[in-house]
Structure 1
Amino acid sequence: MLSRRLFVKSTALLGCSAAAHPLFSNMAFADAPGDNRLVVIILRGAMDGLDVFQPYGDNNLRKLRQKLSLGPDQGALDLDGYFALHPDLGGLMPLWRAGELAFAPAVSTPYRDKRSHFDGQDMLEAGTGTDLDLIQQRDGWLNRLLQNMPGVRSETAYSVGLEDMKILDGPAPAKSWAPQTRFNLSAQGQRLLEHVWHEDPLFRSAGQQAIDIVESGIGTVTKEDGKEKGGPTRDVRALARFSADRLNGATRIATFSISGWDSHANQARVIGRALNRLSDAILTLRDGLGQNWQRTTVLAMTEFGRTVRENGSGGTDHGTGGAMLMAGGAIRGARVYGKWPGISEQDLYSDRDLMPTQDIRAYAAWALRDLFDMPRDVLERSVFPHLDMGENPGFLA
């Protein structure tokens, strides 16, 4: 039985932050004009871009890392003679060969030096340029996009998961749903519940949203025989499958998160599990979208990178410059975008981190500009305050 106290408590939990916790995922959706589709995947926990896209052609890599990121001779998959793909993303190699996978190394938000997951994720999802902006700007860049996009139906935006996504916070309305929640109610029971909550505005609104979302058909990933699929990537495949279903309809923008990237120790094991989830999410999107995959851009973004040097626990600590993954039939793939700064001692940021050479917000902004014809001044002033988009990197086909 769903009690009022439990329901309100569960709704309140959507506002809690889980930072790098591996069990939490969430999702948001919005309708928009046109046929182009955008999926933003937030990688919570600070993905080590140097391990995912390994610059094995830089001779300094083996000096700084004895166990991690050692290139094709250690099982990684060569991309271009300089960078190699982590073997746990091997399932994405067909996308690379088809020109549907690319990446940008040495990217970051303007967040510097404090290296807090919570603050870094807030700045990534808020899309702000300074700590002061983050304090003053309480909404997320996706919500500001909805407010500035003509023809968008923001009442159809969703936040799905066990925590709130700041990227969707703001005046544009959104609905919330927690995965694996069961809300079975007969028609008579629904009428009774509506009568009970009628005089309670808070519960009436939350309860009606629950009914609306359940009636919209959110479900789990299942086998053909009707049994739920198991395995560690089941939940992320469920999120990706539902995303594809929405994107095949009126939805044009979707965002969800994949956690579990905080690899202070035993990084090979930790990042391997996270990469399996990311690979399955992207491949599930591709399979579920069908022909619409050709009009889809996927951006996978993390709050910051990790230290260039591995630590004594077989892991890496919080850093600065990271990497961004792009996928989809709408991108110009099989390419490395941006400028590689190198990892020699004199090239490092604060003598420990990969030096950022590009603001990660610029890639998101150019995606919005090219996919949805958003004016540059709106993107630089309102959606991403104080951003200089620079030249178009041209990663969209």
Structure 2
Amino acid sequence: MILRRQFLSAAALGAGTLFVAPGLALATVPTERRFVFIIQRGAADGLDILRPTGDPAFAGLRGQLIDDAATGTKLDGMFTLHPALAEVGKMYGRRQALFVHAVASPYRDRSHFDGQNVLETGGTQPYAVRDGWLNRLVTLLPRSSDAAIAIAATVPIALRGSVQVASFAPSALPDAADDLMTRVTALYDADPQLHPAWAAALETKGLAAQTGAGQDPASLGRLTASFLTKPNGPRIAMLETLGWDTHNAQKGRLANQLKSLDAMLAAMRDGLGAAWATTTVLVATEFGRTVAVNGTGGTDHGTGSVAMLVGGGVEGGRVVADWPGLAPASLYQARDLRPTTSLDALIAGATAESLGLDPARVRRELFAPANGERPMSGLIRA
């Protein structure tokens, strides 16, 4: 989870904040299958990302945000993809992208921090579970190493737990001189606490060498791909994206966010090459946004949103939705998209099918028993 001051700084900056303090976390497991989780911190507006243009109430509620709807990719009779997601639209056309709409975690209030905690831990209440579901997922796989890598200033909650995690963050600063690195290595060499940590940091730095690691979207996508394609490299990754809290001027801000996400996913796909065929990327947020537009051209904290799966192995080219409708009587608490699908069930099904694990065991180990639905199935091609 990001630090509070990092989150508030991103919110204050507004448009273009997707890769302020970017985060990427990775875990090493001996498999050629790959799974990537991208969290959209700030509550991404699923009704704008995947627009239900076939719902008779939608245009009246969202007209001022969607005058470019005709340029988006029309997925079916109900849904139109935001025009900024051009590459994702192409993946959908190649049956490599799938969307799940009206989806939510068990959380039903509207605090970013509480919602992210529930999403990342797999609990039913904030702070009831101490470790993260992604860390627990790693424990279900045979591992050649107990180490995981977080490319971030702090390790996100989803990857905290019994598996050890080191950290690496792309920096705009110049690399330290070789002489300084040698001196620090010598200084820590005899220290029983600092030496292992320093050695792990150097190993992680070596993995990222010559990748051109930067903080722009395409660079982070390429960096992720470079880690995931190393012969003995990690096969599980997590990326953090910020800036999705669009209380005002949503039209331009969200378009910029989605262009960045689109560029990152395209760069990751291209960088993975043949490995894209065995890769699944899940994109999800802590909750959605209000159905109605507020007085400043934005939307406020809501409930149901959209999640997406992309990857060469995804059984894509479709939208999975038990659509509740946007008529006043159909809304959650008279203001939000009513969630009809469990995000936990989606995560359990996607991770199990992506990594060749038993879905019932994954559901049992990753999420609280009270979380509800059975794992979704048929998400990944056999």
- Give TM-score scaled by structure 1 length: 0.86
Residue in structure 2 matched with residue 396 of structure 1 by the alignment: 380
Which of residues 37, 40, 46 is equivalent to 1:40? 37
Residue in structure 2 matched with residue 168 of structure 1 by the alignment: 159
CA deviation after TM superposition for structure 1 residue 176, in Å: 0.5
Which of residues 178, 188, 197 is equivalent to 1:197? 188
Gaps of 5+ in 2: 11-16
CA deviation after TM superposition for structure 1 residue 317, in Å: 0.3
2:279, 2:354 within 8 Å by CA — same for their partners in 1? no
Residue in structure 1 matched with residue 289 of structure 2 by the alignment: 306
Gaps of 5+ in 1: 1-13, 223-227, 229-233
Partners of 1:364 and 1:83 lie apart in 2 by 22
Letter of the structure 1 residue corresponding to residue 130 of structure 2: R
Letter of the structure 2 residue corresponding to residue 122 of structure 1: N
CA deviation after TM superposition for structure 1 residue 210, in Å: 2.5
Partners of 1:167 and 1:47 lie apart in 2 by 18
Partners of 1:252 and 1:68 lie apart in 2 by 38
Distance 1:213 1:391, change over 3 A: closer
2:348, 2:375 within 8 Å by CA — same for their partners in 1? no
Which of residues 104, 109, 112 is equivalent to 1:108? 104
- Alignment of 1:145 with 2:132, yes or no, is no
Q: Deviations over 1:89-126 (max 9, x none)?
A: 1232221111111211011111112x111111111111
Residue in structure 2 matched with residue 76 of structure 1 by the alignment: 72
Q: Number of matched residues?
A: 367
Instruction: Report the 3-state secondary structure (helix = DSSP H, G, I; strand = E; otherwise coil) of the residue aligned with 1:103.
Output: strand
Q: Deviations over 1:258-310 (max 9, x none)?
A: 11111000001110111011101110011001111111111101110000001
Q: Deviations over 1:227-274 (max 9, x none)?
A: x8xxxxx52222211111122124221111111111000001110111
CA deviation after TM superposition for structure 1 residue 24, in Å: 2.2
Instruction: Report the 3-state secondary structure (helix = DSSP H, G, I; strand = E; otherwise coil) of the residue aligned with 1:257.
Output: strand
Partners of 2:139 and 2:272 lie apart in 1 by 27
Residue in structure 1 matched with residue 266 of structure 2 by the alignment: 283
Structure 1 vs Structure 2: percent identity of aligned residues?
Answer: 35
CA deviation after TM superposition for structure 1 residue 36, in Å: 1.8
Residue in structure 2 matched with residue 340 of structure 1 by the alignment: 323
CA deviation after TM superposition for structure 1 residue 15, in Å: 7.0
Residues 1-397 of structure 1: pairs in structure 2 closer than 5 A? 16-17=3-4, 18-19=6-7, 21=10, 22=17, 23-69=20-66, 72-73=69-70, 75-113=71-109, 115-131=110-126, 134-135=127-128, 137-149=129-141, 151-180=142-171, 182-186=174-178, 189-198=180-189, 200-219=191-210, 221=212, 235-249=216-230, 250=232, 251-386=234-369, 387-390=371-374, 392-397=376-381
Letter of the structure 2 residue corresponding to residue 241 of structure 1: R
Partners of 2:154 and 2:292 lie apart in 1 by 32
Instruction: Report the 3-state secondary structure (helix = DSSP H, G, I; strand = E; otherwise coil) of the residue aligned with 1:66.
Output: helix
Letter of the structure 1 residue corresponding to residue 101 of structure 2: P
Instruction: Report the 3-state secondary structure (helix = DSSP H, G, I; strand = E; otherwise coil) of the residue aligned with 2:236.
Output: strand
Partners of 1:69 and 1:394 lie apart in 2 by 32
Distance 1:142 1:196, change over 3 A: same
Residue in structure 1 matched with residue 14 of structure 2 by the alignment: none
Partners of 1:191 and 1:90 lie apart in 2 by 46
Partners of 2:2 and 2:321 lie apart in 1 by 35
Structure 1 stretch displaced more, 83-92 or 343-352: 83-92
Partners of 1:122 and 1:264 lie apart in 2 by 21
Distance 1:254 1:71, change over 3 A: same
Q: Deviations over 1:110-143 (max 9, x none)?
A: 1112x11111111111121233xx33x2111111
Distance 1:15 1:364, change over 3 A: closer
CA deviation after TM superposition for structure 1 residue 53, in Å: 0.4
Structure 1 stretch displaced more, 286-295 or 62-71: 62-71
Partners of 1:178 and 1:392 lie apart in 2 by 34
Alignment RMSD (CA, Å): 2.2
1:25, 1:163 within 8 Å by CA — same for their partners in 2? no
Instruction: Report the 3-state secondary structure (helix = DSSP H, G, I; strand = E; otherwise coil) of the residue aligned with 1:299.
Output: strand
Distance 1:246 1:342, change over 3 A: same
Distance 1:70 1:346, change over 3 A: farther
Instruction: Report the 3-state secondary structure (helix = DSSP H, G, I; strand = E; otherwise coil) of the residue aligned with 1:174.
Output: strand
CA deviation after TM superposition for structure 1 residue 339, in Å: 1.1
- Give TM-score scaled by structure 2 length: 0.89
Q: Deviations over 1:66-86 (max 9, x none)?
A: 31245744x333111211111
Distance 1:264 1:215, change over 3 A: same
Structure 1 stretch displaced more, 199-208 or 18-27: 199-208
Instruction: Report the 3-state secondary structure (helix = DSSP H, G, I; strand = E; otherwise coil) of the residue aligned with 1:47.
Output: coil
Distance 1:304 1:97, change over 3 A: same
Instruction: Report the 3-state secondary structure (helix = DSSP H, G, I; strand = E; otherwise coil) of the residue aligned with 2:308.
Output: strand
Distance 1:190 1:312, change over 3 A: closer
1:154, 1:173 within 8 Å by CA — same for their partners in 2? no
Partners of 2:198 and 2:326 lie apart in 1 by 53
